[in-house]
Chain A
Amino acid sequence: MLTLRRFRAMAGSYGADLQRWPEAERGAAQALLNASPRARELVNEELMLDEALEAASAREDAAHWPPGEQNAALARLRSGVVARIGLSIGRRPANGRFVSLLGGGGQWAFSPYLRWAGIATCSGFAITAGLLIGARHVSSPASDTVLMMLQPAPIELLAY
């Protein structure tokens, strides 16, 4: 049951048009409007402010949006957003993929994960390169030298 007091509060917030009122209250409000002259009076009082607000809103729109201006503003917005997204895309870890690595736009914006992966990869390359260079430039010992090293020392030498 909607009291006249509550009706006044709702009209003071949402104005005379019941379509603007919360859906749950509309039915009861309409019933009270039909039954109560005071409720109708309250709505009429609010109607004047509603009309003034509507006129102000229309004039504001006309001032801000001359014909074609809304489309022009939207076009400016779209191109501005595209440009700024293009600039910022490198800084954005899009779901953790390698976007920041590929499109940094000159920014060193690696995630910690990518940084460690880079360090590990570089270290791996360095170790592999070292092994390859070492294998090429250090001659392997002759097989007889190796055998001699493996043989036990002569007994007389030990006695001496």
Chain B
Amino acid sequence: MIPEPVGRPWPGVAWVVLATSAAVRGGPAMNSPRVYGRASDPELASWSASGDRRAFDQIVIRHGPFALRVALRLVPDPLAAEDLVQEAMVRAWSQASHFDPGRARFTTWLYRIVVNLCIDHRRRMRPTPMPENFDPADPAIRADEMMEFNERQAALTRALKDLPVRQRVAITLVYDEGMSGADAARVLGLSAKAVERLLARARAHLRDRLQEHDRKETWKC
């Protein structure tokens, strides 16, 4: 969790201009000071919809780390992943007035934008070979164990990369980010049952690939 920069708004000058322009536009709560750090997500979304960029910056601070983590798992190129998250955030800003807290949680709405952009990107991109140093050696493990461990990890990492994108998203949300199946289903716009099936297929694929790797290792011995 990244601490909020209390007392040092960022970038300072921009927010003075922003606050003035929001006041000129008659933002609804400009009469009382807005405490961005304590505001709820729907409040921040509502303020963002009325043009308050500082409220939106607070949204980026809160949810940017999640978005970056998920994007990096789904889109292995870090530059592309950051670009996608930036695009998702700009879309969220421009569509903030469409967010309806009665229909969905803010996080579900925002994460869906992020995930959908990543899915679209993955479908467009060609498969790339693994980089040479994607799995650096851990010096704490003995050489032979390390080789076996690394090979197994590499097999699993390759299997994860080969997963169909929706299965990869389901695994990322539920296993890496600790989301419940129901929340992951909302983000993906699917039923909980459908996510359960995605997870089952993904795990079956990963298990098969690991067993295949283990069989090969046994045969070598």
How would you classify the secondary structure of chain B's contact residues: helix, strand, loop or mixed? helix
Question: In the complex, what residues of A have CB within 8 A of residue B85's CB?
Answer: 77
Contact A49 B94, CB 8 Å, known A56-B153, A73-B68, A97-B26: no
Tell whether, in the assembled complex, residue B50 and residue A94 are in contact, meaning their CB atoms are under 8 Å apart. yes
Total number of A residues with any Cβ neighbor in B under 8 Å: 45
> Which one of B21, B69, B135, B181 contacts A14 once the chains associate, using CB atoms below 8 Å?
B181
- Please indicate the chain B residues that have their CB under 8 angstroms from the CB of A55 in the complex: 153
- A97 and B27 CA atoms in complex are apart in Å by 11
Q: Is A97 a contact of B73 with CB atoms below 8 Å?
A: no
Within 8 Å of chain B (Cβ to Cβ): is A9? yes
**Cα–Cα distance between A63 and B152 once the two chains are bound (Å):** 17
Residues of chain B with a CB closer than 8 A to A54's CB: 175
State A74–B57 Cα separation when bound (angstroms). Answer: 11
In the complex, the answer to whether A63 meets B134 with C-beta atoms within 8 Å is yes
B127 close to A (CB within 8 Å): no
Residue interface bits B168-202, CB-to-A below 8 A is 1, else 0:
00010011101011100000000010001101100
Q: Does B110 contact A (CB under 8 A)?
A: no
Query: How many B residues are at the interface, by size bracket?
Result: 35 or more
Contacts of B90 in A (CB 8 A): 81, 84-85, 88
Contact status B82-A77, CB under 8 Å: yes
Q: B203 and A60: CB pair below 8 A?
A: no
Q: Does A154 contact B (CB under 8 A)?
A: no
Q: Contacting A99 at CB < 8 Å: which of B25, B68, B182? A: B25
Q: How far is the CB of B148 from chain A (nearest CB, A)?
A: 13
Cα A59 to Cα B154 with chains together (Å) = 11
> In the bound complex, do residue B174 and residue A14 qualify as a contact, i.e. CB atoms below 8 Å apart?
yes
A residues within 8 A CB of B206?
49, 52-53
Contact A78 B49 (CB under 8 A): no
Q: Is B39 interfacial (CB 8 A cutoff)?
A: no
Residue A105 is within 8 A (CB to CB) of chain B in the complex: no
On whether the beta carbons of B199 and A70 are closer than 8 Å, the reply is no
The contact of A74 among B2, B21, B53, B97, by CB within 8 Å, is B2
Contacts of A118 in B (CB 8 A): none
Contact status A97-B153, CB under 8 Å? no
Contact A78 B57 (CB under 8 A): yes
Q: A63-B134, A77-B85 are in contact. Are A12 and B203 (CB under 8 A)?
A: yes
Asked whether, in the complex, the Cβ of A20 is within 8 Å of the Cβ of B174, the reply is: yes
Q: In the complex the two chains form, is A94's CB within 8 Å of B25's CB? A: yes
Q: Which of B133-167 contact A (CB under 8 A)?
A: 134-136, 152-153, 156-157, 160
Q: How far is the CB of B15 from chain A (nearest CB, A)?
A: 10
* Interface residues in A68-104 (C-beta closer than 8 Å to B): 70-71, 73-74, 76-82, 84-86, 88-89, 92, 94-95, 97-99, 103
- Taking Cβ atoms with an 8 Å cutoff, the residues of A that contact B are 9-10, 12-15, 20, 22-23, 46, 49, 52-57, 59-61, 63-64, 70-71, 73-74, 76-82, 84-86, 88-89, 92, 94-95, 97-99, 103
List residues of B whose CB falls within 8 A of some A CB: 2, 10-11, 14, 21, 25-26, 49-51, 53, 56-57, 60-61, 64-65, 68-69, 72-73, 78, 82, 85-86, 89-90, 93-94, 97, 134-136, 152-153, 156-157, 160, 171, 174-176, 178, 180-182, 192, 196-197, 199-200, 203-204, 206-207, 210
Jot down 10 A-B pairs with beta carbons below 8 A, ordered by A: A13-B197, A14-B199, A20-B175, A22-B181, A22-B192, A52-B152, A56-B156, A59-B135, A64-B69, A80-B82
